[in-house]
Amino acid sequence: MVATKLALGAVMAALTTTGSAGSLKIKNHCSGTVNIVISHNGGCDYGQSKKCIRDGGKPYQIKSNGSTSFAWIGDGKGASLKISKSDPKKILQYEYALVKSGDYKGLYWDLSDLDGSGNGLVGTPFRGDNVHVKPSGNGAGKGTCVPIKCAANKVCLDSYQHPDDPNTKWCPVDTGDIWIALCQPNSQFNSRDLNDEDIEIVDTTPPQEGEAPVDDSAAPVMPKIVLDYFLHHTEEPSSPAAAKVSRAYYA
């Protein structure tokens, strides 16, 4: 038990805040505006002005044919971008955790249809649209750092449909930007045709909410998205202990 705690402590020591990656860039090809809220480490959904939606905050918005750059939250904790059209309860989620240093460093991410049509319900407001997620730069193509393509009117098997799907991806920390193209035209669906011009850059810093007291005697908490990756992959990082540690902790 002591050895397990020490191993987990070493894993969590890797979740530090040095180094950097590119950013998440979203291109909206849809005919209307899309709305985005962010949840960080289980906190409130927030948007513009770092204000919780429940407290009157407004979501980030990307107008038709617009592009927005979202800086990564690089503290090693899980974050989720919830993307919607007109109904905020119908969402597509891009989930990630950026671990900037240590043996387990990397960008862990996925696209998820879970809870997309309500709590516990699978769905996405982009069911009839092409959605393309594509890493760029040095990290692209390494390990599971590969594109996700969700074709219109088809179940996207590369996104999470069930909690135990092995669809979490890993990219090196030095990966360039990751692009999400929403409602991408068929002519562009199989190629990267995204324009950096006139891209809006937004502040993704989470709001300062009241935090619960820290219990120093409790075992450290590894983000679920990182655990999910190690439950299904052992290629990257290459440490043979990675899967064992995560499985022991996940249980």
Q: What is the pLDDT of residues 93-148, one digit of tens each?
A: 999 999 998 888 999 999 999 888 877 788 899 999 999 999 998 889 988 999 99
d(CA 6, CA 51): 38
Residues sharing a CB contact under 8 Å with residue 49, sequence separation 6 or more, in sequence order:
57, 58
Residue pLDDT, tens place only, 142-196: 889 999 999 999 999 999 998 888 899 999 998 889 999 999 999 898 765 544 5
Q: Would you tell me how many other CB atoms lie within 10 Å of the CB of residue 232?
A: 14
Domains of the chain: 19-207+215-250 (2.60.110.10)
Backbone angles phi, psi at 230, to 5 degrees: -70, -20
Return the bridge partners of 150, or none.
131
- Enter the pTM of the model: 0.75
> Phi, psi at residue 44, to the nearest 5°?
-70, 160
CB 52 within 8 A of CB 207: yes
Q: Which of 20-29, 96-105, 228-237 has the lowest mean pLDDT?
A: 228-237
* β-strand partners of 99: 106
Q: What is the pLDDT of residue 102?
A: 86
CA atoms of 187 and 3, how far apart (whole Å) = 55
- Concatenating the DSSP letter of every residue in 182-195 gives ES--GGGTTS----
